[in-house]
Structure 1
Amino acid sequence: MKKALVLGASGGMGYALVRELVSRGVDVVAFARGKEKLKALFEKESKVTIYAGDVLTEGEVSQAAQGVDVIFHAINFPYPVWNVTHLICMDILIRIAEAQQAKIALVDNIYAYGAQHKEKISEDAQKEPHTKKGEIRLAMEDKLKDSNVPSLIVHFPDFYGPYAENTMLYETLKNVVRNKSANFVGGVQVAREYLYTFDGAKAMVELALRDDAYNQNWNIPAVYPITGGEVIKMIREETGYQKSIRTVSKTMIRFLGMFQPFMKEMVEMMYLTETPVILSGKKYETEIGPVPTTPYQEGIKATLKWMMEKDSKVSSMPTTINR
């Protein structure tokens, strides 16, 4: 792989992918809607070409994809428009990849697996999604597999890290850095996975560089499942944060959904906070090597540091992050 296109380059995983690709000597076209944000992120990087455009406009994506070997799909559409955007976008990418003779690497989540009751889920687990969003993600997979495009489908748990702002853990951290009372989505006693974006990017780029990794699904787990209580303890230790952290239940999300479209769409995914899907990394470990892992304490510290630098209200933070 000499040149790659990263769609959604200003988001959490897209940003991490650009950084990882560049670190391996790959030229990158960073594609997202906001030109100013792209410039702020990558303008000083000689191996990155900035392209501001709309992923649903085929001509713009096609132009950005000229000469690329791999197209990384790291696009994060808002929940309320998933049923309209995702499959259209996938059709566009398949046509462009076929025309460019490029490969597609899909940043995927765990929704297509549906509710699972095994301790850890391997890539050969039966996919029987019971939610609308799970059905859409599975349909995206099927489109890729039915095409003539070599594809890489990588399943990740919920992310956290710089620029990963549409995530459950971000909902907690954003108020911590402002020294306000915060919310934690789901019960604090249930162990779930949170993957540091830079770990996910390292694993995915490693796969994308290997021809024999394509036309397969890969699961990339986090360090280990961790409870909300453990996460909150780490946050308090790192920051000296003393405010209350309220647990946001499914009932509360359903109530908020009466007024907020995003919350209404989030209700069906709350099963993941009750019976989490925990990924097995055995396949990656056997065929590639150790799964990249950053200790939670280190990853949370780095994420909080980025958020404090970004947020204009950080002056109200009770203490600095412990070094």
Structure 2
Amino acid sequence: MSNLHVVFGSGALGSAVTRELLGRGLPVRVVSRSGRAPAGAESHRADATDAAAVKAACAGAAAVYNCAAPPYTSWAEQYPAIQNGLVAGAAAADAVLVSAENVYVYGRVQGPMTEDTPIAPTSRKGEIRARMHEALMAAHRAGTLRVAVGRGPDYYGPEAVVTTVYGERVFYPALAGKPAEIFGDPDALHTWAYVDDFARGLVTLGTRAEAVGKVWHLPCPPALSQRALLDLIFRAAGHPTKIRAMPGWLATGLGWFVPILRELAEMQYQWQHDYDFRCDRYLAAFGGEVTPHAEAVRRTVEWFKAHPKAKG
């Protein structure tokens, strides 16, 4: 029986999943358009929207991890096609498809978010993710393939430079003693996961039979305010906390001229209101440690120090 794990995506999350798999002594094939992969993993170049290429990339897989994500401005055109390609590839290999998802499907939630929170998106991107999720679970119910869904909050960590809100616009300014650029209310609660915890959760889903057919909220520390997390980041960077918060109306206005801000504007509710993501069900089923923010921040600051921002 095959023990090969195939990871689609070589960004921050895909790289973290690959590190976790290699750390467990498992054979890993990383599939991306660039064809790059961490040392110790097999690299494979393919376009995830090409079903035939994906089937070839998934050959012999026991589990397939969907960590591939299109540019934020191209979700409608590319995201469903990526998932369709991976469904075809995982089904052909008779592999478990582990899908990394976010909380956009829930819309604005008052109170804690759990696996039982209704799917009720309030954004275009949330509607895209909701349709993708329903299609994935329908394929599982039909017996087309086996699926395990790992849903996580916003994450940060090594390599998460431009792919997350808490990336280069926060850590590089903190290291330079300049204001971190954030969205929304600095004192509203928010939940973040450390990227290595997110990855460890996905690998657990891909290696435990009882995870299949269900949605799991992946491990993360309790919610805290943006200001509290920024205090930890600036302290680790050796500077006093400085914050520049962009109000929602400004993001909306600038969105007419800056495409990425236009896409982010509809998600402002996540930063203006409490965002309390809970992972109790996962921890009860699988256990494991959650990296405290202080330690996760320290590791992330060290990575950003070692990878200074290119000038120009």
Normalising by structure 2, what TM-score? 0.92
Is 1:111 the counterpart of 2:104 in the alignment?
yes
CA distance in 1, matches of 2:88, 2:180: 44
**Paired residue for 1:226, among 218, 224, 227?**
224
CA distance in 1, matches of 2:128, 2:61: 27
Q: Please name the residue that 1:269 is paired with.
A: 267
Does the CA contact (< 8 Å) of 1:110 and 1:277 recur in 2?
no
Is 1:139 the counterpart of 2:131 in the alignment?
yes
Q: Name the SS of the counterpart of 1:222 in structure 2.
A: coil
Where does the alignment leave 5 or more consecutive residues of structure 1 unmatched? 315-323
Runs of 4+ in 1 over 6 A off after TM superposition: none
Aligned-residue sequence identity (percent) comes to: 25
1:178 Cα deviation (Å)? 4.3
1:277 Cα deviation (Å)? 3.3
Where does the alignment leave 5 or more consecutive residues of structure 2 unmatched? none
Q: Please name the residue that 2:8 is paired with.
A: 7
1:245 Cα deviation (Å)? 2.4
Pick closer, same or farther for the CA change 1:180–1:279 going to 2, 3 Å: closer
Is 1:249 the counterpart of 2:247 in the alignment?
yes
CA distance in 2, matches of 1:305, 1:31: 28
CA distance in 1, matches of 2:199, 2:148: 13
CA distance in 1, matches of 2:175, 2:33: 27
1:196 Cα deviation (Å)? 0.2
Q: Please name the residue that 1:196 is paired with.
A: 194
Pick closer, same or farther for the CA change 1:241–1:86 going to 2, 3 Å: same
Does the CA contact (< 8 Å) of 1:178 and 1:313 recur in 2?
no
CA distance in 1, matches of 2:122, 2:231: 33
Residues 273-313 of structure 1 deviation map (CA, whole Å, 9 limit, x = unaligned)? 122432222211222224x3111111111111111111156
Pick closer, same or farther for the CA change 1:84–1:313 going to 2, 3 Å: closer
Does the CA contact (< 8 Å) of 2:98 and 2:205 recur in 1?
no
CA distance in 2, matches of 1:179, 1:59: 49
CA distance in 1, matches of 2:240, 2:210: 50
CA distance in 2, matches of 1:73, 1:293: 22
Tell me the amino acid that sits aligned with residue 19 of structure 1.
Answer: R
1:225 Cα deviation (Å)? 0.8
Q: Please name the residue that 1:64 is paired with.
A: 57
Tell me the amino acid that sits aligned with residue 28 of structure 1.
Answer: V
Give the alignment's Cα RMSD to 1 decimal.
Answer: 1.8
Q: Please name the residue that 2:295 is paired with.
A: 298
Residues 81-112 of structure 1 deviation map (CA, whole Å, 9 limit, x = unaligned)? 11111111111111222211111100100011
Q: Name the SS of the counterpart of 1:187 in structure 2.
A: coil
Q: Name the SS of the counterpart of 2:275 in structure 1.
A: coil
Does the CA contact (< 8 Å) of 1:152 and 1:213 recur in 2?
yes
1:232 Cα deviation (Å)? 2.1
Is 1:159 the counterpart of 2:155 in the alignment?
yes
Tell me the amino acid that sits aligned with residue 158 of structure 1.
Answer: D
Tell me the amino acid that sits aligned with residue 153 of structure 1.
Answer: V
Pick closer, same or farther for the CA change 1:312–1:254 going to 2, 3 Å: closer
Q: Please name the residue that 1:320 is paired with.
A: none
**Paired residue for 2:117, among 118, 121, 125?**
125
CA distance in 1, matches of 2:109, 2:241: 35
CA distance in 1, matches of 2:136, 2:217: 17
